[in-house]
C-alpha cells in the first residue's frame, strides 16, 4: 500500500513540476509578446504625434502637399513596425510551444518507462509466485 502511495506521490510531483515549468514558459512568452507589442505601440505613437505636430504647423494647401508624403511614410513605417512585432511574437510563440511539447513528451516517456518497469516487476513477481 505504501509503495503505491510513494509511486503515486512521485508521479504527481513529476507532473506538477512539469506543469510549473510549462506555465513558466507560457508566462515568459506572454511577457515577451506583451513587451514587443507595447514597444511597437510606443514607437508608433511617438512617430504619429511627431507627424501630427508638423501637420498642425501647416497653414496652406501647398504646405499640406509637402507634408502628405511624410504622413504616408509614417503610416507605412508604423505598419511595418507593427507587422515586425507580430512576426517576432509569432516566432517566439512557436519556439515556446516547441519547448512545451518537448517537455510534455519527455514527461510522458518517463511516466511510460516507470509504468513499464512496474509492470515487468509485477510480472516477474507473479511468475515467481506461480512456480
Give the per-residue pLDDT at 129: 78
Using alpha carbons, select from 74, 94, 72, 70 the residue that is nearest to residue 82.
74
Q: pLDDT per residue over 95-127, tens digit each?
A: 999 999 999 898 888 878 877 887 888 888 878
Q: Show me where the domains of the chain are located.
A: 18-130
pLDDT per position as a tens digit, 52-103: 999 998 888 888 888 999 999 999 999 999 999 999 999 999 999 999 999 9
The residue written with cell numbers 519527455 in the block is 106
pTM: 0.74
Amino acid at each position: 500500500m505504501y509503495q503505491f502511495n510513494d509511486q503515486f506521490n512521485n508521479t504527481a510531483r513529476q507532473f506538477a513540476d512539469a506543469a510549473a515549468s510549462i506555465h513558466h514558459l507560457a508566462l515568459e512568452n506572454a511577457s515577451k509578446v506583451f513587451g514587443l507589442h507595447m514597444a511597437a505601440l510606443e514607437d508608433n505613437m511617438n512617430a504619429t504625434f511627431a507627424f501630427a505636430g508638423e501637420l498642425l504647423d501647416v497653414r496652406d494647401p501647398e504646405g499640406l502637399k509637402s507634408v502628405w508624403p511624410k504622413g504616408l511614410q509614417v503610416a507605412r513605417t508604423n505598419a511595418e513596425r507593427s507587422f515586425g512585432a507580430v512576426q517576432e511574437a509569432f516566432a517566439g510563440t512557436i519556439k515556446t510551444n516547441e519547448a512545451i511539447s518537448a517537455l510534455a513528451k519527455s514527461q510522458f516517456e518517463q511516466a511510460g518507462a516507470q509504468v513499464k518497469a512496474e509492470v515487468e516487476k509485477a510480472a516477474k513477481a507473479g511468475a515467481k509466485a506461480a512456480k
